[in-house]
Amino acid sequence: MVFPTSVVTGLLLPLALWAGDVQVIDEIVAKVNGEIITKSELERSRRQMAAELRQRGLTGAALEKALKEREGDLLRDRIDQILLIGRAKELNINVDNELSKYLAEIQLQNKIADPDKFQAWIREQSGMTFEDFKAEARNSMLTQRVIRQEVGEKIRIPKAEIQKYYEEHKGDFVREERVFLREILVSTEGKDAAGVAAAEKKAKDLVARARKGEKFFELARDNSDAASASQGGDIGGFRKGELDPAIEKLIWDQPKNYVTDPIKRPNGFLILKVDEHQKAGQASLEEAEPEIMDILMRPIFQPKVREYLTQLRRDAFLEIKDGYVDTAAAPGKDTRWTDPAQLKPETVSKQDVMARTRRKRLLWMIPIPGTHAKPKDVRVVDATSRKK
């Protein structure tokens, strides 16, 4: 006997013959390309949102109000994520190295050497399995990389607008002296003498590559064991007296783009690059330009991201069940839900099949348009006939 089937959380499961035996495990609320979104996913996202709001100090009516304002976008956010992750696959973006360093840094900061204990700690802190936590972190990194690559790097602010903003806000660019740094850390944690020697060699090689012109932020992203690797090694600006005196002496009077030799630290070999040295007083337009670009991009960036996601929606297979709303739906796109249970198979009679077969057999008799040769006397001979 062939049983009917029903899609439940993406699996084909046999249904019992009697409706009373059917147990609903989960409900699919949307289909995005080859992925599904379930009701339980949205409920989990709502719980995570509530936990984040509580951490910010919201309780009672204020918490409920904030949840009410934001929960309508839960489906939108999940669709966004699936589309961006799919795009990351198309672009062959890989964040495995970045993810490994991120997890290693968490483990190092919390001084949990044993892998099993670390995974148990992650479960306790996040409320997720270790694999789910890793997947969430990977997905976040992938979506950020796609947005930066596909949107951020394509926004251009005209030089005239930067100049105009600078002239109108000069007072905002009177500064204290600060040095802005990027770092690469080659860790020696848990390594023996041979491992330390190998780490030192790697650090020296990275310094040589940086001084030959390779992009420091890419070297940091791909090789650094510090948490700043995901930001290309960027650790921000420091006023005089805020750095370790030994390090400050090494870099304070050095020009922009200066790269240090490897500096031996308790946890590894540290390489620093002077990204910018901001002098005290009125900043020049050139010095102020990165900050001005950031200011001018803020009102543009999010609309551009939403525009990009709208286009991804237009190009996607997307169906949403009645009762659920994508608050960023692409205008004009049909996302009505198609229930597989309502699709009826085409039925064909035996007579139809035989008629179609006969029509195919007779097609050779139809003259080809444009030909001039007239067919000779043609007879259709029955297959059962015999020449005598």
86-110 pLDDT, tens digit per residue, is 999 999 999 998 898 888 888 877 8
Q: Is the pLDDT of residue 383 over 60?
A: no
Q: Where are the domains of the chain?
A: 177-279
Neighbours of 203 (CB within 10 A): 23
In whole angstroms, what separates CA 214 from the centre of its chain? 26
Q: Is the pLDDT of residue 358 over 80?
A: no
Read off the tokens for 145: 């990389």
**Which CATH fold would you assign to the domain 177-279?**
Chitinase A; domain 3 (3.10.50)
pLDDT number for residue 22: 56
Alpha-carbon distance 325 to 364, whole Å? 55
The answer to which of 203-207, 215-219, 384-388 has the lowest mean pLDDT is 384-388
Of 271 and 24, more confident: 271
Read off the tokens for 319: 């169906």
Over range 126-132, report the average pLDDT: 88
Q: Is the pLDDT of residue 224 over 60?
A: yes
279-326 pLDDT, tens digit per residue, is 889 888 988 898 999 999 999 999 999 999 999 999 999 999 999 999
